[in-house]
Structure 1
Amino acid sequence: MKDEAAALCSGLCLIHCLATPVLLSLGGLGLIGSAFTSEWVHVVLILPIALLALASLPSGWKRHRRRLPFVAGSLGLALLVTALFAPHEAEAALSIGGGLLLIGAHLSNRFHCNRLLKAENAAC
């Protein structure tokens, strides 16, 4: 369940990064446009993403011993955190790359945990 929620949060971050330039290019968005570009939106998005990544990826690695989800998720989270402090020109690329890595990591983590659970149930 944590991986699905984490992938959803990362997906929302990705949508935010892709939709903001489009919405701003439409112009005249006023309050909505300023809310989408505010720094607090980034903090609100990164907090649950980081907490869910820290809760699910290490425990998944301990369970299924596959490094790829943990490494990809760690790199994705690092890119998202870096995007918070990066120049505006690099922010979107870092956020999109980090979001995609995190989504892939969580889905892979979920796949490996489910596969292990099925193998354990078949052995009983």
Structure 2
Amino acid sequence: MKDILGMIVSGVCICHCLFTPILLNLMLIGTTADLLVFEYFHFMVLGLATILGIYSFSFSYKKHYSLVPSILGVAGLILLFTAIYQSSFWETLLTLVGGLLLILAHWKNKTLQYYFI
């Protein structure tokens, strides 16, 4: 369950990065737009992704003893944290790659658990 939740949170990062500019250009106003551009939203989602990653990867490592999910997860989180301080093009690119790495890390973690139950 924790890996599925991790994939969902990573997907939210990707969707937020891709669709916020489109929605803002369509003149979306109100509470939803305020939430989408709320500066601390990035830190809240990254904090949640970090907590889920630490919990999921450390707990699962004790079952399958593979560092691959952890390495992919750390690389994804580093890219996501780096993306916050970049211009719009690099922010988008780093968020997409980082989010995809996190999704891949959680997927790999989940599949490895099936082999070592």
The 2-side partners of 1:23 and 1:29 are apart by 6
What amino acid is the match of 1:30?
A: I
SS at the partner of 1:42?
helix
Structure 2: unaligned runs, 5 residues or longer: none
Q: Are positions 1:109 and 2:115 aligned together? A: no
Deviation at 1:87, TM superposition (A): 2.7
Aligned to 2:22: 22
- Greater than 4 Å deviation, 4+ residue runs: none
Q: Please, which runs of 5 or more residues in structure 1 have no aligned partner? A: 118-124
Q: What is residue 72 of structure 1 aligned with on the other side?
A: 72
**What secondary structure does 2:28 align onto?**
coil
Identical columns (%): 34
Q: Point out the structure with max Rg over C-alpha.
A: 1
* AA in 2 matched with 1:61: Y
Counterpart for residue 4 of structure 1 = 4
Please report the TM-score for the alignment, with normalisation by the length of structure 1.
Answer: 0.84
Q: Partner of 1:83 in structure 2? A: 83
More helix by share: 1
Question: Residues of 2 paired with 1:41 and 1:91: CA distance?
Answer: 15
Shift, 1:110, TM fit: 0.8
